[in-house]
Structure 1
Amino acid sequence: MHRDDWDSVFKNQDKILEQLKPLNNKMFLAGGTGLQRFVLPTAYRNSEDLDFFLEKVCNKTELDEIKNQILDLMSKFPEAKLVNSKWIKDELAWRMFYDFEDNDETVKIEILNFTCNRVKDFAFVNEDIFRTENLYNLLLYKLKALCDRPDTIKDLFDLYFILRDLQEVNISFLIEDINKKFKAAIGIEYSKENIVSALNHRLEWDIEIGEHVKHLHGLKLEIESFQEKLKSAFENNIILDFSYKTRIKEKAQEFGLDENDYIDIVEDNQFIVDEWNRYYK
Structure 2
Amino acid sequence: MDTTIITIEGQTVRAVSPEGQTASMPLSELLNQSTEPPPDSGGVILCNGIRLIYSRGPMTIVVHETPPRVHLFDWIAKHSPARHGPRTCYRPVRIALPYLIVIAMFEQYRLGRRNECFFRVEPLSDQNGEDSPLLYPALLNCSKFSPPDGKPLSWICTAEMDRSVWAQRGDRNQRLRAGLRALLHCLLETGFNYSSEDHEGSSWFTESRRVDPRVATVEDWMAATEQDPLFVLSVPWLKTGMSIRQVVDRIFINHGLPRDRPVSNADLARRIFNYRPTQPK
TM range (shorter): under 0.3
Report which of the two structures shows the higher radius of gyration computed on alpha carbons.
2
The normalised TM-score by structure 2 is 0.22
**Greater share of strand:** 2
- Give the structure with the higher percent helix: 1
Specify which structure has the bigger relative contact order, considering alpha-carbon pairs within 8 angstroms and separated by 6 or more residues.
2
